[in-house]
Amino acid sequence: MAISTRISQALQSLPKTELHLHIEGTLEPELALRMTERNGVTLPFNGLDDLRSRYYFADLQSFLDLYYQLMSVLRTREDFSDLMFAYLTHAHKDGVRRAEIFFDPQVHMNNGLDYNLVLDGLQDGIARGRDAYGIDAALILSVVRDLPVESAQTLLDAAAPRANELLAIGLDSAEVGYPPELFEQVYERAAGMGLHLAAHAGEEGPSEYIRQALDVLHVERIDHGVRIVDDPALVERVAAEGIGLTVCPLSSLRLQVVDDVANVPIRQLLDAGVRVTVNSDDPAYFGGYIARNYTALAEAGLPMEALATIAGNSIEACFAPEEDKAAMRAELDRWKAEYADLLA
Ligand code: ADE
Ligand code: ZN
């Protein structure tokens, strides 16, 4: 269904947070190729068209193969700063007031980079975003679950001295065969470092992984989590406990989790009272930044009231201080007054 320009502008300006975004997943193919030249790195592609032709994914793993391959172009503090600033520029245009952003240090460390160089570059990009746009951003240290658990502990060793610069811990990468319970001690240690807790679960993997993330890792948010619909009792529990679900519609479409955006179970979960949010995951790979995810849902027939509820959920589910949440709620109220005709 086509939507009006006014609806699409309203969704772009809708005050929102982004809670599920991998900074490495914002590496656009043009920027990746520019970085190969700037850093003297080679990639096995024959220019932009050849690279672009690889952006068709059969499943999560086929995406991850390209994602990790392109990450090898990131070499310097400036690369990470530029990547972050480019994302925050998109996010600001899309009405994002606050972004909680995953990064995958184990992969960069395996590429020979120092953890502190990566963190310095990302923090520099965040400071540039704050100066240019007033946008608020914070980092989620993401554990690559298909690397050995000892590698996650080594990551925490590297992260500990500057743990105060991190917001949360996350768990990503290939899901099936890597259940959350493997990371019980890692999460216990991260909690002891004062980090918030989130984990990817129920993206391709079973709803049992969502249960484990809640019961064993004690997460406050579930990333993706769409497979929760296989377990109605778990849906009820997550709704009652106010656990945020960071759903990523274009990601689920492009990774063949669903065959149509309309089949991402957002309406069903909202009706059950689940705190559903909408996010872009890896926008350079999946065909759109966050506002495009909102408009895709509108095109699939999700009413504007539901999309406004989702933006409100994104404010409630974020890990910002209460006064910042209150300011975002007030902005959302002003937006609702301005677009009251679309919400009727
Ligand atoms: N890393 C980057 N994007 C991811 C996703 N959608 N699922 C798991 N790991 C990821
Ligand atoms: Zn993700």
pTM: 0.98
Residues with CB under 6 A from ligand 1: 22, 25, 60, 67, 172-173, 200, 203, 251, 281-282
- The yes-or-no verdict on residue 22 having pLDDT over 90 is yes
Residue with tokens 């994914």: 57
Distances (CA, A) of 332 to 11, 99, 245, 293, 297: 12, 16, 20, 18, 19
Q: Is the pLDDT of residue 344 over 90?
A: no
| 41, burial (CB in 10 Å: exposed 0-12, middle 13-18, buried 19+) | middle
CA 173 – ligand 1 centroid, Å: 5
Residue 203 annotated in active site: yes
Ligand 1, atom nearest to 67 Cα: 2
- Residue 1 is predicted with a pLDDT of 87
Angle made by CA atoms 140, 288, 105, in degrees to the nearest 5: 25
Burial of residue 56 (CB within 10 Å: 0-12, 13-18, 19+) is exposed
Average pLDDT of the segment spanning 273-298:
98
Which secondary structure element, helix H or strand E, spans residue 20, and what is its range?
Answer: strand 16-22
- Tell me phi and psi for residue 260, to 5 degrees: -160, 140
Taking only the tens place, the pLDDT of each residue in 213-233 is: 999 999 999 999 999 999 999
Query: Which atom number of ligand 1 is nearest to the Cα of residue 25?
Result: 2
pLDDT at 167 over 90: yes
User: Residue 107: nearest ligand to its CA?
Assistant: 1
The CB density around residue 118, as the number of other CB atoms within 10 Å, is 24
Output the six-digit token pair for 220.
Answer: 């406050």
User: Which atom of ligand 1 approaches the CA of 203 most closely?
Assistant: 7
pLDDT bracket for residue 65 (50, 70, 90)? very high
Q: Tell me whether strands 96-103 and 136-144 are parallel, antiparallel or unpaired.
A: parallel
CA of residue 49 to ligand 1 center, whole Å: 24
Query: 207 falls in which pLDDT band (50, 70, 90)?
Result: very high
CB 74 within 8 A of CB 24: yes
Tokens representing residue 122 in the block? 């990302």
| Residue from 18, 100, 203, 331 carrying the catalytic annotation | 203
* Residue closest by Cα to atom 7 of ligand 1: 173
pLDDT at 184: 98
Query: Taking the C-alpha atoms of 260, 288, 220 and 105 in order, what is their torsion angle to the nearest 10 degrees?
Result: 120
- The pLDDT value recorded for residue 226 is 98
What are 223's two structure tokens? 């990333």
The mean pLDDT of 81-106, rounded to a whole number, is 98
Q: How remote is the CA of residue 249 from the centroid of ligand 2, in Å?
A: 11
Pairing of strands 168-172, 136-144: parallel
**153 burial level (CB within 10 Å; 0-12, 13-18, 19+):** middle
Residue found by looking up tokens 């990450």 in the block: 71
Query: How far is it, in rounded angstroms, from Cα 288 to Cα 91?
Result: 11
Pair of tokens at residue 89: 């520029």
CA distance 198 to 214: 9
Q: Which of 281, 286, 293 to mutate to test the pocket of ligand 1 (most atoms within 8 A of CB)?
A: 281
pLDDT above 90 as % of the chain: 99
Interval 77-85 mean pLDDT? 98
In this predicted structure, the answer to whether residue 185 has a pLDDT above a threshold of 90 is: yes
Ligand nearest to the CA of 254: 1
- Whose C-alpha lies nearest to ligand 1, atom 4? 173
pLDDT of res. 108: 98
pLDDT for residue 28: 97
Measured from the Cα of 255, ligand 1's closest atom is 6
pLDDT at 164: 98
- The whole-number pLDDT of residue 200 equals 98
pLDDT score at 293? 98
Ligand 1, from 68, 106, 145, 172: best to mutate by most atoms within 8 Å of Cβ? 172
Amino acid 247: pLDDT? 99
CA of 255 to the centre of ligand 2 (A): 11
- Nearest ligand 1 atom, CA 173: 9
Residue nearest ligand 1's atom 6 by CA: 281
Nearest CA to ligand 1 atom 10: 173
Ligand 2 centroid distance, CA of 147 (Å): 16
- Ligand 2 centre and the CA of 200: distance in Å? 7
Helix (H) or strand (E) holding 246: strand 244-247
pLDDT > 70 fraction of the chain, expressed in percent and rounded: 100
SS3 label, residue 223:
strand
Mean of all residue pLDDT scores within the chain: 98
